[in-house]
Chain A
Amino acid sequence: MRVALFITCVNDTLFPGTGRAVVSLLRRLGCDVDFPAAQTCCGQMHVNTGYREEGVRLARHFTEVFAGYDAVVAPSGSCAAMVREQYPKLARPGSRGAAAIAEVAPKVYELSEFLIDVLKVEDVGAYFPHRVTYHPTCHSLRGLHLGDRPTRLLKNVRGLELVPLPGSEECCGFGGTFAVKNPAVSAAMGADKTRNILDTGAEVLCAADNSCLMHIGGTLSRQKTGVRTMHLAEILASTEEAQ
């Protein structure tokens, strides 16, 4: 299966390891992956901060770059939700843009959806001997309705002990530019989230969104907790040989 990777601008720039993990994981599962080099950003930051015009321009760019692929896989619940849920609201009904969005948006998958719904694998042959807790992230949970897909994948990872996270469905307080526009509330939410994480005794916090992990991980690191954050793709890509 020929799959286009949408690595997302945050991953591309700040977390390239997540992109490399997606490549090795999907290849291991027999996919032929491509990274369309012209890709940039889905436009979420602009649209959600009130810069619609710039956001629409980025959305148009996205639909041009990814037109013609059977499937587009993104290691980000939030960016996948942007394309699938918010793009259709950006174009005038009946316009060319709306047609382009209707063509591309349904083929965009978040990683765990692609693995379970399209490739039909739940055991990706990973090995990760650590105590892990999972934060579902709001857009994955309520935007994409990923449900238990990510945790089903994690439960099949050999050596991994998955511990439940109390209050997991509560927002971590990142919210894109919310983190800098409302820093006090964002920090308070982040502090409550990290307290819950520490209560689990996990060594690693896993999620399907590096932007939330950047906020939670930044808080964990400032508090010198020693708990690591890892993207779902990185755990699923790790094997015995890689350890």
Chain B
Amino acid sequence: MSATFLGMPGNFPKNAAKAVHNSQLRYNLRKATHTIRGKRANVVGELPDWQELRAAGKAIKDHTLRNLDRYLIQLEEAVTRAGGTVHWARDAAEANAIVAGLVKATGETEVVKVKSMATQEIELNQALAEQGITAYETDLAELIVQLGDDFPSHILVPAIHRNRSEIREIFLEKMPKVPPHLTDDPPALAEAARLHLRERFLKSKVAISGANFMVAETGTLVVLESEGNGRMCLTLPETLISVVGIEKLLPSWRDLEVFLQLLPRSSTGERMNPYTSMWTGAVEGQDFHLVLLDNGRTDVLADEVGRQALRCIRCSACLNVCPVYERAGGHAYGSVYPGPIGAILTPQLRGMSSDLDASLPFASSLCGACYEVCPVAIDIPEVLVDLRAKAPHAAAERAGMKVAGWILNDHERLAKAQRAASRLRGLIPKRLPGPMSAWTDTRDMPEIPEESFRDWWERNERA
């Protein structure tokens, strides 16, 4: 069972520094992100109306979020009408208790899961394990992460940090009926996983899923996936429990059209994803439960700048284009949501009381690449800067910034400081002490000039 994300030690800079020195990891990440990045750019480039689609996606999500209360009730009514049962969960503990109770009521001790980030967020697998229930991930990458006792490190490709020989090792060690001469050929690995999973699907009476979208008007849930495991999970078991964040809502069936174009192109760089499954309420022979998860989302919604993070459709385009994610890897973010979206969503959902969460808004160079690719136009740099203003700052930094602000607020003070720096220019060592050593460890300092621009101007122009 994968370990827990909550209470992860360290902070982003420390975690990232370790990851940066793992050359295998850096190679795996670079290769994977650059490949998907290129594919995405190509298929997005094919659509002449991409910017209009993006604006439409943003507008639909904003409208939904503004009227979330109304649409959620509409959804509840529609799901109930269709024979499903809706449960409301304020936080992780409530959601886990609801799901555990539902599974127990079936008398089963094993469940299959189709990738759901919401259940990762609330650590459902651990909560179920405590109740004697084993959850089996069926998404290939999630399976690799679960068998490897590991954390997911990417939204779409949770095992992006693993290469195929590592995956082969994990399979050999953890799969009971793995073929003994398993090679690290991708088709061979996929086949081993398929055999392993098929048995699970056929045996399981309970499945837990997430959803990419929920349609308020019809009560329909939608999952997009590419392996077919989702469809197996959704249709074979007798009880289906879907755990979904309340922000995954769309008002109408028509709105789906926009997102079924935006999501596959942004995530896998495909024009269309291989499997789109939709279900409405309970079908014959199957019991259906929908657990609507808040877990901090209404607090995010209350924040004027930060609420745009709830538009996210978890496509992972921002991760694949982020130069920081590419070097630091997903684990450095200490959350199921890594990369740029994680840097703004996690500290909003969890607050910034831990060292790790307080460091996340600073895990960006503000290069803006994430904003540019985001299919729902989330201005991630804007939210980062806003969160930085709310994050705690070290006393020494506060003092330094105060002094800098005081000097910069008056041109005569600034001129004096410049002249002082010029006089001392010969004395500045090549390696600086304290926090500035972070600069001089790998970079030379610029030379301080003999004369500032303003003094030069004064001398030449005012004379």
Tell me the A residues contacting B by CB distance below 8 Å: 7, 9, 11-17, 19-20, 23, 35, 37-41, 43, 45-52, 54, 57-58, 61, 86, 89, 138-139, 141-143, 169-171, 173-191, 214-215, 217-219, 221-222
Count how many chain B residues have C-beta atoms less than 8 Å from C-beta atoms of the other chain.
61
In contact, B439 and A175 (Cβ under 8 angstroms):
no
Beta-carbon nearest neighbor of B435 in chain A: A180
Contacts of A86 in B (CB 8 A): 385
In contact, A50 and B408 (Cβ under 8 angstroms):
no
Q: How many Cβ-Cβ contacts under 8 Å join chain A to chain B?
A: 187
8 contacts between A and B (CB under 8 A): A7-B454, A13-B452, A58-B409, A178-B365, A181-B13, A183-B439, A189-B327, A222-B444
Contacts of A142 in B (CB 8 A): 367-369, 371-372
Contacts of B323 in A (CB 8 A): 170-171, 173, 189
Bound Cα distance from A191 to B421, whole angstroms: 29
Is B181 interfacial (CB 8 A cutoff)?
no
Contact A218:B444 (CB < 8 A) given known A40-B410, A89-B382, A171-B367: yes
**Interface segment, B123-131, B143-151, B398-406?**
B398-406
Beta-carbon nearest neighbor of A169 in chain B: B369
Is B366 interfacial (CB 8 A cutoff)?
yes
Is B69 interfacial (CB 8 A cutoff)?
no
Contact A138:B411 (CB < 8 A) given known A16-B456, A179-B438: no
Contacts of A221 in B (CB 8 A): 443-444
In contact, B401 and A37 (Cβ under 8 angstroms):
no
In contact, B367 and A187 (Cβ under 8 angstroms):
no
Contacts of A218 in B (CB 8 A): 439, 443-446
Bound Cα distance from A175 to B362, whole angstroms: 10
Contact A190:B401 (CB < 8 A) given known A12-B418, A171-B365: no
Contacts of B452 in A (CB 8 A): 12-13, 16
A19 vs chain B, min Cβ distance (A) = 4
User: Which of A7, A43, A170, A185 has the most chain B CB within a 10 Å cutoff?
Assistant: A185
In contact, A185 and B20 (Cβ under 8 angstroms):
yes
Contacts of B17 in A (CB 8 A): 183-185
Among candidates A20, A47, A187, residue contacting B442 with C-beta atoms closer than 8 Å: A187
Is B16 interfacial (CB 8 A cutoff)?
yes
Bound Cα distance from A53 to B178, whole angstroms: 61
Is B12 interfacial (CB 8 A cutoff)?
yes
Among candidates B328, B368, B410, B451, residue contacting A143 with C-beta atoms closer than 8 Å: B368
Bound Cα distance from A178 to B393, whole angstroms: 14
Q: Which 3 A-B pairs have the closest CB atoms?
A: A175-B365, A218-B443, A50-B388
Beta-carbon nearest neighbor of B384 in chain A: A48
Given contacts A9-B414, A142-B369, A178-B366, list 16 more A-B pairs with CB under 8 A.
Answer: A12-B414, A13-B418, A13-B453, A15-B449, A17-B449, A86-B385, A138-B366, A139-B368, A178-B364, A180-B439, A181-B438, A184-B16, A185-B20, A190-B443, A214-B446, A218-B439
In contact, B365 and A173 (Cβ under 8 angstroms):
yes
Bound Cα distance from A222 to B421, whole angstroms: 22
A187 vs chain B, min Cβ distance (A) = 4
In contact, A61 and B409 (Cβ under 8 angstroms):
yes
In contact, A219 and B393 (Cβ under 8 angstroms):
no
Contact A175:B411 (CB < 8 A) given known A14-B449, A51-B401, A183-B13: no
In contact, A20 and B453 (Cβ under 8 angstroms):
yes
Beta-carbon nearest neighbor of A86 in chain B: B385
Contacts of A139 in B (CB 8 A): 368
Beta-carbon nearest neighbor of A51 in chain B: B401
User: Which of B366, B371, B388, B391 has the most chain A CB within a 10 Å cutoff?
Assistant: B366
Bound Cα distance from A29 to B454, whole angstroms: 22
Bound Cα distance from A49 to B323, whole angstroms: 19
Beta-carbon nearest neighbor of B379 in chain A: A89
In contact, A181 and B457 (Cβ under 8 angstroms):
no
Among candidates A14, A43, A45, A186, residue contacting B365 with C-beta atoms closer than 8 Å: A186
In contact, A182 and B414 (Cβ under 8 angstroms):
no
Beta-carbon nearest neighbor of A37 in chain B: B411
Which residues from 387 to 442 on chain B have a C-beta closer than 8 Å to any C-beta of chain A? 387-391, 393, 401-402, 404-405, 408-411, 414, 418, 421, 435-436, 438-439, 441-442
Among candidates B385, B408, B411, residue contacting A47 with C-beta atoms closer than 8 Å: B385
In contact, A185 and B404 (Cβ under 8 angstroms):
no
Bound Cα distance from A182 to B363, whole angstroms: 7
In contact, B454 and A37 (Cβ under 8 angstroms):
yes
Contacts of B442 in A (CB 8 A): 183, 187, 190-191, 219, 222
Which residues from 10 to 32 on chain B have a C-beta closer than 8 Å to any C-beta of chain A? 12-13, 16-17, 20-21, 26
In contact, A58 and B408 (Cβ under 8 angstroms):
yes
Contacts of A37 in B (CB 8 A): 411, 454, 457-458
Bound Cα distance from A54 to B389, whole angstroms: 11
Contacts of A40 in B (CB 8 A): 408-411, 414
Beta-carbon nearest neighbor of B405 in chain A: A54
In contact, A38 and B411 (Cβ under 8 angstroms):
yes
Contacts of A181 in B (CB 8 A): 13, 362, 438
Contacts of A58 in B (CB 8 A): 405, 408-409
Contact A57:B405 (CB < 8 A) given known A184-B13, A187-B441: yes
A165 vs chain B, min Cβ distance (A) = 15
Contact A188:B327 (CB < 8 A) given known A37-B411, A41-B408, A182-B362: yes
Bound Cα distance from A170 to B449, whole angstroms: 30
A53 vs chain B, min Cβ distance (A) = 8
Contacts of B391 in A (CB 8 A): 50
In contact, A183 and B408 (Cβ under 8 angstroms):
no
Is B461 interfacial (CB 8 A cutoff)?
yes
Bound Cα distance from A186 to B371, whole angstroms: 20
Bound Cα distance from A184 to B21, whole angstroms: 9
Is B448 interfacial (CB 8 A cutoff)?
yes
Is B192 interfacial (CB 8 A cutoff)?
no
In contact, B404 and A45 (Cβ under 8 angstroms):
yes
In contact, A182 and B13 (Cβ under 8 angstroms):
yes
Contacts of A46 in B (CB 8 A): 401, 404-405
In contact, B449 and A50 (Cβ under 8 angstroms):
no
Is B82 interfacial (CB 8 A cutoff)?
no
A134 vs chain B, min Cβ distance (A) = 17
Which residues from 191 to 250 on chain B have a C-beta closer than 8 Å to any C-beta of chain A? none
B449 vs chain A, min Cβ distance (A) = 5
In contact, A182 and B16 (Cβ under 8 angstroms):
yes
